[in-house]
Amino acid sequence: MEHILIYYFSGTGNTAYVTNLLQSELVKHVKSVEIVNIEQISGPILPDSFNGIDAVGLCYPVYGFRAPAIVKRFAAFLPAQTDMPLFHIKTAGGISPVNEGASASVMHRLKRKGYQTFYDRTVVMGSNWLIAYDPRLVKQLAETAKEKTEQIALDIVNQVQRLPKVSFFALLLGSLTSAGEHGIGAKVYGISLHAKSTCNHCMICVKNCPQHNIQDKNGKITFGANCLWCMRCVYACKQQAIHSRLMQFSVLKNGYDLNKTLADKAIKPDFFDEHTQKSHAQFYAYCIDQNA
């Protein structure tokens, strides 16, 4: 294995962070690793684009126990291949067996195109939705991601088989949750958004929405139903002007900015002590277990 191509989607930065870490580790073992943001892809990819590629990777966050709709749509753009090795690296803000089934639908779609998934793994990062984590835990999970990607890179280069077993119950629960969050939930969230009077029309939200769901109409910022609920527009707004009329509970009060947390030297990745090891046992076990 010498040339690897990775496509990724990142809502608010977690997956981009992990993808860059993975690229840095992979280039220690192979000749080239190209990463491409799938937001740049608007149509079918030509089969010739994969000439010389030894493996393809997909990196994306878990939304409602499923791959984001934008990733599923992108899967349709990938060209048919013959037994192309494929790996999935997912990021999630929590630890749950149901997260392991998030790649199932994308995996099955691409299998019909000739892609053979040999590796599927979830990297846990800070939560940007509903529950705010202690900044020390966010940084500690980010530091742990560095260790995880070292092992992931070696596994990918050596084509280690890692396909988690997902129970029928987990798949069913994921489907039901996904129908709510990806279906009606995301649509309602999208149309519930509005720009408050503090909006200065910087247009960052319009330019950066992965779904092109935000528009400037006659000097007024409007939001549609084609929403991923990725939270990017809310947290990227420097004026904190974007508000949900119905689902503001899902927005973290102090926002989510991974880069800012990582750059803050006052925040130490020392979340775990005798107390937190017990109160956050799952996170602690994940951080100390290289194979988790």
pLDDT digit string (tens) for 12-33? 999 999 999 999 999 999 999 9
For 108, residues 6+ apart whose C-beta sits below 8 A from its C-beta are none
pLDDT tens readout for residues 171-195: 776 666 665 556 688 999 999 999 9
Rounded-to-10 torsion of CA 12, 18, 21, 25 = -160
Written as six digits, the tokens of 94 are 């929590």
Looking at residue 180, its pLDDT comes to 56
Looking at residue 34, its pLDDT comes to 98
Crossing angle for the helix pair 135-157 and 281-288, to the nearest 10 degrees = 40
Distance CA 122, CA 102 (A): 9
Looking at residue 167, its pLDDT comes to 79
> Could you read off the pLDDT tens digit of each residue along the chain, which spans 292 residues?
999 999 999 999 999 999 999 999 999 999 999 999 999 999 999 999 999 999 999 999 999 888 999 999 999 999 999 999 999 999 999 998 888 899 998 999 999 999 999 999 999 999 999 999 999 999 999 999 999 999 999 999 999 999 998 877 767 766 666 655 566 889 999 999 999 999 999 999 999 999 999 999 999 999 999 999 999 999 999 999 999 999 999 999 999 999 999 999 999 999 999 999 999 999 999 999 999 9
Distance CA 57, CA 62 (A): 16
Looking at residue 178, its pLDDT comes to 61
**Helical segments of the chain, H only:** 14-26, 69-75, 104-111, 135-157, 168-178, 186-192, 204-208, 232-236, 258-263, 276-279, 281-288
Written as six digits, the tokens of 130 are 């509903």
Looking at residue 168, its pLDDT comes to 72
Closest Cα partner for 55 from 176, 159, 151?
159
Looking at residue 67, its pLDDT comes to 93
Contacts 24+ apart (CB under 8 A), 164-170: 164/100, 164/120, 164/121, 166/97, 166/100, 166/101, 166/104, 167/97, 170/97, 170/98, 170/100, 170/101
CB atoms within 10 A of CB 116: 14
Q: Which pTM value belongs to this model?
A: 0.96
CB of 17 closer than 8 Å to CB of 46: no
Written as six digits, the tokens of 175 are 């489907």
